[in-house]
Amino acid sequence: MSEESGGAGLGRLEAALVMEAMAYGCPSTSAFISIHNMVSWMIDSVGSPDLKARYLPSLVTMEHFASYCLTEPGSGSDAAALSSRAVRDGDHYRLTGSKAFISGAGVSDIYAVMCRTGDASPAGISCLIVEKDWPGVSFGAPERKLGWRSQPTAVVSFDDVKVPVGNLLGSEGEGFKIAMRGLDGGRLNIGACSLGGAQRCLEDAIRYTRERRQFGKAIGEFQNTQFMLADMATELEAARCLLYTAAAKVSAGAADRTMFAAMAKRLATDVGFKVVNDALQLHGGYGYLQDFAVERFLRDLRVHQILEGTNQIMRVIIARELLRHNLS
């Protein structure tokens, strides 16, 4: 976020480094902070002076937390098909609908809600800032998840919630554009979380294979183990280089920033999960026990291939951008 709003004034590369470092300890917690940071950045980037003054001071200090509400029970990868609707009523909107898989639901203080204020196209979507305690806002039971257990996830429901017109982020019809801009950074951060978690597990695997002995010698002395470690380290560094390149492009506003963010997210999350899975394999039966951290990292990193746009959707974005440009 900008220094004018109390942020550090850093770019996407620096943010990725921070997220990667935090994920070395806990990818779930790092990802939770990434989502909070994304909403704060959205308000800082396109919010009115009044909206910034009311919400950013407590978001910057993390006295309050923010959640991002795009996905719905009936619209996941097809985010533009969302059905939550806000109808203008004088100086308020009346918001009705529900959002699914919302990190921080029931705990976060404010919610950036993508909702339909116009027609059925992406241009009919707007973004409203909604507070947790407003009448008509409710939350489902916490989801029971494979991973990401350090943060709550639940459905958020809106039953004729009165939202002041001043809580519109940007202009009417700009919501989907704002959401997609936020996702460029969110995809980089999730990729960075995968890198950090995978780096931790690679180092744990190196340490373990040096100490664990079988057939009279450390398992790290077997060529098969060495080849696995070599591939893990090489692929992780390749993914890291692409992600840092993509982060620099997003900060610079490069024309191909969205494609590179999608490429980096796809590669970093796929490679990250594979590295952690291989690290668990190298731990043998012990890797399957909660006594070792690698099983937690495996559970946490698996969802990174799904959220912020599935890796199948990343391929759609990449191919679309490649085919859009005339290469002659």
| Contact between residue 161 and residue 96 where contact means Cβ atoms under 8 Å apart | yes
The residues that are catalytic are 308
Q: Kindly state the helix (H) or strand (E) to which residue 227 belongs, with its residue range.
A: helix 223-252
Closest CA to 171 of 229, 107, 214, 128: 128
Closest CA to 292 of 302, 304, 284, 300: 284
Q: How far is it, in rounded angstroms, from Cα 58 to Cα 140?
A: 26
Measured distance CA(301)–CA(199) in Å, rounded: 12
Please report the DSSP string for 60-89 in residue order: HTTSS-EEEE--BTTBSS-GGG---EEEEE
Q: What's at 106, amino acid-wise?
A: G
| Beta carbons within 8 Å of 18's beta carbon, 6+ residues apart | none
Structure-block tokens of residue 54:
């009311």
Task: Report the sign of the C-alpha dihedral through residues 307, 171, 321, 76, in that order.
Answer: positive
> String of b and e for 88-99 (b: at least 16 CB within 10 Å)?
eeeebbbbbbbb
Count Cα neighbours of 322 within 13 Å in the Cβ-side half-sphere: 9
Q: Which residues pair with 127 in a beta bridge?
A: 114, 169
d(CA 123, CA 137): 25
Among 32, 20, 14, 36, smallest CA distance to 193 is for: 20
